[in-house]
Chains A and B, each alone.
Chain A
Amino acid sequence: MRIALLTEGTLSNAQRGDGGWCGRLVEGLPEHEFRLYRLLPADRPAAPAGVPGPHGVHELALWGRRPGGRGPALHRRRGYQRAYEELIRSLVMPGERGLFGPALYRLAALNREDDALPAFLASGHAQRVLERIWRSPGADTAAGEPLVCDVLVAADLLEQSLRPLSAPWYGTGAAGLGGTDLCHVVGGGPAALPALVARELHGIPFVVTEHGLHLREQYRGYRSAPYRWPVRALLLAFFRQLTEETYRQAAVLTPGSAYDQQWQQRCGGDPARTRVVYEGTPATGRAAAGAEPDAPTLVWAGALEPGRDPELMLHAFAHVRAELPDARLRMYGEESARGYLAHCGAIAERLGIADAVEFAGRPAALADAWESGTAAVFTALAQRSPRLLADAMLSGRAVVATEVGVAREVLGPTGLLVPPRSPRALAAACLALLGDAERRSRLGLAGRLRAQERFAVEPVVGAFREVYLELVSRYPAFPARPGAEARPFARPAEYWVAGATAAPERAAGGGRLAAGPALAEAL
């Protein structure tokens, strides 16, 4: 099968599906032909794809400077303006949400004819349309008056977000998505735009894998973004509409946890088409941690920032220390909020536990961090990714975690869950573990087995092997012709065999190039 992997290859925190995950998938499924389509930031150097041997890598600069090009001709501009107006209406008018998808596909269709979309979106014509709809009575954004500067910023951001619509990836040519059997979107957001267009244009189904939801990251990120309220409202509406359209049109959704699945369902993901596939980690092959340290030691790991709540750990440890005077605490991680390390140090000083607490910085390997402790503790206020928890469980150490986000789902009965922001409860759980070696080893072993079962790489690969096969069996063979009746299994297996051997001849003559589609027409 020919599969197009669509990812946003940025290093932002919204990006969870970078090379590592895709690389493992491609390695695990050598029977399929993967092509990589990446959206890259324009101004920064791209990170290496990390995907070994894909059949072609196609890249498009998503953020940053607009690529050159001319705007639409005078007689075509009206079409662009109408489609753009519908897009904006669907974002700000409460009753017109349904216009979003059609407007998106209309813009993509217009761009395929003359490649003028980026220049149009950056032009004064688009800005005038945006301003007119945005300030029209009845718009959602009436609460915050959009000003001229907001129009400029919002038009710019929309232009950047819609850039994948003008990617040269459509059609059935060499780089075309039309020549693939299915698209696999890793990460959501703008990366799903090509898949949406390919589905509309060629009828190609797509799978959406998200580890950390793009939409939720936008909601979190835009809170501290340097944009005024109307811009925030417009862009978040855009991302919400885009996400809902993606979830509606996706053939299969594979969120990284049941916790993410709730969000996806809320945004229109059909539970019948959803399948939770945990993010596999190669750490499952690691040996369990060795002997426990002599002194009872708690290990805390994570970025030093208020969201991870290291203060709760310190306060709980003060209680633990009162009961167990030789207890120790090791805090791993670098500060990601300026001055937070000093703040935590001051708290430890004030609580009188500074001599027992060690801020160990970034560990050389996570396995070493877990090995240096008797039990691992997680105190985050929000646990969106199961990655770190699973890694701790794989060490075979017992885990205590606050009951937020994915913690309950990942730990299950193999760890202790305490309510967030409660030092006494956390201290009681830690004391219970530190005082009971037998329970500790039992929970640790159970946790290790649970994590090995759920977070291994093989189940991920197996799951996607099934998903892919199931998808192509459900989708008709040559759906590119609009109006043609769907005919499952209409494409004989020999078709692709013939196509593969004819490849050199195609390059030479080009006469056989249309053989596949022509056969499709005949069928």
Chain B
Amino acid sequence: MTPPADPVRELLDANREVCEQATDPLEIAAALEDSGLPTAGTGRYRHADIFGLAEELYARVPRRPPVEESPPPVRERALAPAALGLAAHLLPLAPVALLGAGAAGGALAVLCGALGGAAAEHWSPRAAGAEPAGRPGRAWAALGHGAGTGLLLALLAGSAPGAALAVALGGGTAGWCAARLRRVGRRQLTAATLGEFRSRLRPALPLAVLAQLTATAALAVLTARGAGATGWAALLVLGTLLLLAAVVRGGGRQGTAATAVLTAAAGAAALTLPAPAHWLGAPPPGGLLAACLGPTALLAAAAWPLTGRPGAYR
């Protein structure tokens, strides 16, 4: 039997996929060795060594990277974060409803808020997936975030219980919006360039804020019919603050989110004391509104560049 005219051909056909997807001739050489090419077997293909043979295969087969391969599918439900957010925000309202918005109720609310924040951090998908080893800083940030939220809700409940309920329910929609935003961002990771990614994500945050405002307003119509203009403003600003804090925290800046929420809570608590409240001269939730405006604006400034950064969605 005469040897075939082109002995490399059969080898090529047998290893076509490897050759098409190889990034380098040496990769083909490694694959050939793994497939059981004997040490002295390259002579059959008229090559002195396996590297020359691999070079020939690399040159003869055009590169064809696997086309069908897609980035791993995004498997993140928005409902679970929404439920978590709802639970974490409703929890601090329970002691206020039971004990009234006094010192004991407020302290318990702060405690429940911290507990809820820690629980939300513990069960959030990000904590489970990307970074298994929890940093102590992150745990503290989650505690602070939760405690600040609890205090804000307790203060609001003191002056306008209906509005507080609306905001607490709005915590659920904030979690939902932040999760949706994350999901959209992760889907857009298949964009070709960083610039394209940024331009696709540009309307996402304003839309999320709009959705949150609408949701909070709708909830307030149901639960806080009698709130005045100040009450409405405080309610909407607080709802936005919760959303932005959730977005910034989801983007990996737990510290920033916690600082903003704690600053707002501390400011609001200070403004309920008789002297500053008298100086401010606004109806009850006015202090809360004044204390929340600054941190909300700062959080928005932090969240805006963060949403255009692909690293924030992993």
Let me know if A420 and B36 touch, CB within 8 A. yes
- Given A147-B71, A228-B69, A237-B23, A266 contacting B51 (CB threshold 8 A): yes
Residues of B within 8 Å of A402, CB to CB, are 36, 38
Chain A residue at minimal CB-CB distance from B190: A147
Let me know if B310 and A382 touch, CB within 8 A. no
Chain A interface size range: 35 or more
B2 within 8 A of A: no
Query: Bound state CA distance, A65 and B132, in angstroms?
Result: 10
Let me know if A229 and B39 touch, CB within 8 A. no
B140 within 8 A of A: no
Question: How far in angstroms is the closest Cβ of chain B from A516?
Answer: 42
Query: Bound state CA distance, A415 and B63, in angstroms?
Result: 42
Query: Bound state CA distance, A323 and B51, in angstroms?
Result: 41
Let me know if B36 and A309 touch, CB within 8 A. yes
B302 within 8 A of A: no
- Given A65-B133, A152-B310, A266-B51, A143 contacting B189 (CB threshold 8 A): no
Residues of B within 8 Å of A408, CB to CB, are 39-40
Question: How far in angstroms is the closest Cβ of chain A from B190?
Answer: 5
Query: Bound state CA distance, A407 and B65, in angstroms?
Result: 34
Interface residues of A in 378-412 (CB under 8 A from B): 381-382, 384, 402-405, 407-408
Query: Bound state CA distance, A154 and B37, in angstroms?
Result: 32
Cβ 8 A contact of B197, one of A148, A215, A259: A148
Cβ 8 A contact of B38, one of A127, A152, A236, A420: A420
Residues of A within 8 Å of B132, CB to CB, are 43
Cβ 8 A contact of A404, one of B27, B31, B37, B64: B37
Residues of B within 8 Å of A215, CB to CB, are 26
Let me know if A382 and B34 touch, CB within 8 A. yes
B76 within 8 A of A: no
Let me know if A307 and B310 touch, CB within 8 A. no
Let me know if B24 and A240 touch, CB within 8 A. yes
Residues of A within 8 Å of B49, CB to CB, are 262
A219 within 8 A of B: yes
Let me know if A216 and B23 touch, CB within 8 A. no
A20 within 8 A of B: no
Question: How far in angstroms is the closest Cβ of chain B from A419?
Answer: 6
Cβ 8 A contact of A421, one of B36, B40, B64, B194: B36
- Per-residue contact bits, chain B 47-65, to A (CB 8 Å; 1 contact, 0 not): 0010100000000000111
Interface centre among B18, B33, B41 (most CB of A within 10 A): B33
Cβ 8 A contact of B64, one of A143, A147, A151, A420: A143
- Given A148-B310, A216-B30, A262-B49, A237 contacting B40 (CB threshold 8 A): no
A493 within 8 A of B: no
Interface residues of A in 132-154 (CB under 8 A from B): 135, 143-145, 147-149, 151-152
- Given A145-B192, A402-B36, A404-B39, A43 contacting B133 (CB threshold 8 A): yes
Query: Bound state CA distance, A152 and B30, in angstroms?
Result: 28
Cβ 8 A contact of A131, one of B51, B65, B66, B193: B193
B309 within 8 A of A: yes
Chain A residue at minimal CB-CB distance from B132: A43
Residues of B within 8 Å of A381, CB to CB, are 34-36
A128 within 8 A of B: yes
Let me know if A149 and B23 touch, CB within 8 A. no
B131 within 8 A of A: yes
Chain B residue at minimal CB-CB distance from A226: B72
Interface residues of A in 143-169 (CB under 8 A from B): 143-145, 147-149, 151-152
Interface residues of B in 119-178 (CB under 8 A from A): 131-133
Let me know if B63 and A135 touch, CB within 8 A. no
B191 within 8 A of A: yes
Let me know if B69 and A149 touch, CB within 8 A. no
Query: Bound state CA distance, A215 and B24, in angstroms?
Result: 12
Let me know if A266 and B35 touch, CB within 8 A. no
Additional 19 contacts, C-beta under 8 A, given A149-B190, A152-B314, A229-B69: A65-B131, A143-B64, A147-B190, A147-B191, A148-B189, A152-B311, A215-B26, A219-B30, A220-B34, A233-B23, A236-B24, A266-B26, A266-B51, A267-B26, A402-B36, A402-B38, A403-B40, A405-B39, A419-B41
User: Could you write out 27 A-B pairs with CB less than 8 Å apart?
Assistant: A65-B131, A65-B133, A124-B309, A143-B63, A147-B71, A147-B190, A147-B191, A148-B193, A149-B189, A149-B190, A151-B310, A152-B310, A223-B18, A228-B69, A229-B21, A229-B66, A229-B69, A236-B23, A236-B24, A240-B24, A266-B51, A267-B26, A309-B36, A381-B35, A382-B35, A402-B36, A404-B33
